[in-house]
């Protein structure tokens, strides 16, 4: 059990004890019998226990959702990292290819490659 949940439960129990055993003080109200006060306090205590149960259930659901979201974030970060690495490899490969084309023959080799599909008289011959 999480520390904050224990704190909520302890606080709730203390409040319930105060509600159950405290005598309501109302200046304008007529004094009620002890049985009526006890019945009212028990009814309020029952409602508070029901609210606590619903709150703790909502807390458990939220904790579970948070855990799932954190796991999804971790997966997404790993996927993004892999994609970044793939893009970086592609950029390095492209740069190396461009450098190779530049160093081999300046524009002659690149020109021959680019024009190979347009004419059959290219230095590399017909590709068809």
How far is Cα 42 from Cα 45, in angstroms, rounded to an integer? 5
Give the lowest-confidence range in 6-20, 55-69, 92-106: 6-20
Tell me the domain boundaries of the chain.
3-24+31-115
Residue 113: what pLDDT?
66
How far is Cα 99 from Cα 110, in angstroms, rounded to an integer? 11
* pTM (predicted TM-score): 0.47
Q: pLDDT tens digits for 77-126?
A: 999 999 999 999 999 998 888 787 777 765 666 676 677 666 554 444 44
**Higher model confidence: residue 5 or residue 40?**
40
Q: What is the mean pLDDT of residues 35-51?
A: 93
Task: Calculate the CA 113 to chain-centre distance.
Answer: 49
């Amino acid at each position: 059990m999480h520390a904050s949940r224990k704190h909520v439960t302890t606080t709730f129990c203390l409040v319930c004890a105060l509600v159950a055993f405290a005598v309501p003080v109302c200046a304008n109200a007529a004094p009620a019998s002890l049985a009526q006060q006890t019945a009212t306090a028990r009814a309020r205590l029952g409602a508070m226990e029901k609210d606590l149960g619903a709150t703790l259930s909502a807390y458990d659901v939220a904790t579970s959702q948070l855990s799932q979201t954190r796991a999804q974030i971790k997966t997404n970060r790993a996927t993004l990292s892999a994609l970044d690495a793939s893009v970086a490899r592609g950029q390095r490969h492209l740069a190396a290819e461009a450098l190779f084309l530049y160093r081999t023959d300046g524009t002659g080799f690149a020109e021959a490659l680019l024009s190979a599909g347009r004419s059959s008289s290219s230095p590399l011959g017909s590709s068809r």
